[in-house]
Chain A
Amino acid sequence: MKNGMEKQVQTFIPSVDIVETKNSYIVKLDLPGTSKEHIKAQLNRNTLIVSARMQDYLATEKENEQPIKEYRREFSLANDVDLNTIEAQYELGVLTITLNKKSQSLPKEITIS
């Protein structure tokens, strides 16, 4: 594989679910066949870029160094997302990103005196 015959990396757009809750946005991305170490989540101003490399699980051990798939997806974050408290978790091939809303943009109840 080293002699100029490198496998081409294919880029895939993962499917995404987004649920809005009272305090946050929960983003789920299907990224089967990768691992925590191979997932990259970058924040560039208010754009969140998620990319992951997937190992070729069909290759034999010896050939297993070349990734064959790459996942990539970008998200433009709304102004109410608190960029400092983004959390992510990878489980069962699904990456869950929690984007908390800024506390000042949460609905407030106003007491009437």
Chain B
Amino acid sequence: MLVRYQPYQSLLEDIEDLFATSFPLLQPFESFVPTYGVAMKDSGEELKVIVELPGVAKENVKVTLHDNVLTITAERKAPELKDGEQWIRNEISYGKFERTVNLPYPVVAEKITATHENGILSITLPKADEAKPKQIAIR
């Protein structure tokens, strides 16, 4: 996974800490869910959505479509260290991840396919007829 530059991450964490200590009953920032970048490609007939999800098992990925909004949730399980094992370095982040994508046009929900290979989730969404490019005959 590529780590994105997150200039405000520590500030957000500070705010979160401040809220947690000042208002223990009121924790609006508690459930920050990390998000990943997606790539989208339009190939005329279909739309492709691609997400990098290294180390995530297939059964821990869920893709849902509702009201033309695609939601991808995934969980990367953190390794459990056994007795006598210790971290030397930990740059990979673990836990839950969620990403929603507004689709630019209607798709055929029944024909959506998804593959998860080598840590890449690839979702193919065939466009609805009204969204497909049309050739206009010139008379």
* Chain A interface (Cβ < 8 Å from any Cβ of B): 12, 14-22, 25, 28, 30-35, 57-58, 60, 90, 92-94
Contact = CB atoms under 8 A, between A and B. Distances in A.
Nearest to B40: A58
A40 to B, nearest CB: 16
Given A30-B55, A35-B118, A94-B54, A20 B92 contact: no
Task: Tell which of B2, B50, B87, B118 has the most Cβ of chain A within 10 Å.
Answer: B118
Given A19-B81, A33-B52, A58-B50, A25 B119 contact: no
A33 B119 contact: yes
B88 interface: yes
Contacts of B92: 15-17, 28, 30
Contact of B118 (A16, A21, A33, A58): A33
A93 B53 contact: yes
B87 A92 contact: no
Contact of B119 (A12, A58, A94): A94
Interface residues of B, number: 31
B139 interface: no
A22 B82 CA distance: 10
A30 B89 contact: no
**Secondary structure of the A contact surface, majority rule:** loop
Contacts of A57: 50, 120, 122
Interface of B: 1-3, 39, 41, 43, 48, 50, 52-57, 79, 81-82, 84-93, 118-120, 122
Contact of A18 (B3, B57, B84, B89): B89
30 contacts: A15-B1, A17-B91, A18-B87, A19-B81, A19-B88, A20-B85, A20-B87, A21-B85, A22-B85, A28-B55, A28-B92, A30-B1, A30-B2, A30-B54, A30-B55, A31-B54, A32-B1, A32-B54, A33-B118, A34-B118, A35-B118, A58-B41, A60-B43, A92-B56, A92-B57, A92-B118, A93-B52, A93-B118, A94-B54, A94-B119
Contacts of B122: 57
Nearest to A16: B91
